[in-house]
Structure 1
Amino acid sequence: MNLVSIRIITAYIENLVPFYEQITGVQAIQYTPDFAELKTSAGTLAIGSTRTLQFFGGETVAQPAENRSAIIEFRVDDVEKEFERLKDFLSSYTVQEPTVMPWGNQSLLFRDPDGNLVNFFTPVTKEAMEKFNSKKD
């Protein structure tokens, strides 16, 4: 079994898609006005408007801008470089500037316009690098 994608449901797809395009540098594929995907080598971040909920049983299935338990994580080559690139853009969204975590990743934590937590990280300790280098991307 493989995790293929994470989908964010939003009431403001016109804000969220360009935000993720800016931070990732990945051009979204906008299949419809209500659904887009940003594809990376490891997986896909899908973004759907609240109007897509009708296909899953109605608007009570998911609530936009209500996430308080998941962090959307992107492994990047150099967290410091990404922070410098995005510092102005993320100024009102930044939760934690680049910091080395106890598990060996340097992490930049910020929120997207819907309030979802996003983490850009780079393994920096020997153990963390070995952990990620042993996995297929």
Structure 2
Amino acid sequence: MAIRKIEHVGIMVTNIELSISYYTKVLGLEHRKTMTHSNGVIRLAFLAFPGHEETEIELIEGYNSELPAEGKVHHVAFTVDDVEVEFTRIKQLQVPLRDTEITTLPDGSRYFFFYGPDGELFELFQPGTAQ
């Protein structure tokens, strides 16, 4: 297995600009980038603590704004070296998958989601080269 670290924690938000402002001013995070998901609907923003960029907070706008406050954390993502190898490994373990294929973002990052034993959502994420 080639999981290296927690990649990011995805938090659903209703207004990404307002949330970026809050996370930078109140929590001291640095805004690294914002992009529109390859589905053309969801917007993603990535933030990290200055000098500690190994784990990020991912803000997700446009996914589902109807969840209660306790349900705003969407998923936990782990960095992997080869997302295709991990996708095959997870399928062979018969772990329930949310995704039937690997998704590629505009920056070349690739990922897929799967479920834990209590329905929690996990993501295996291979960063793109166009960082």
User: What range describes the TM-score normalised by the shorter chain of this pair?
Assistant: 0.3 to 0.5
Higher strand share: 2
Higher helix share: 1
Q: TM-score, normalised by structure 1?
A: 0.40
Q: TM-score, normalised by structure 2?
A: 0.42
Considering only CA atoms, is the larger Rg found in Structure 1 or Structure 2? 1
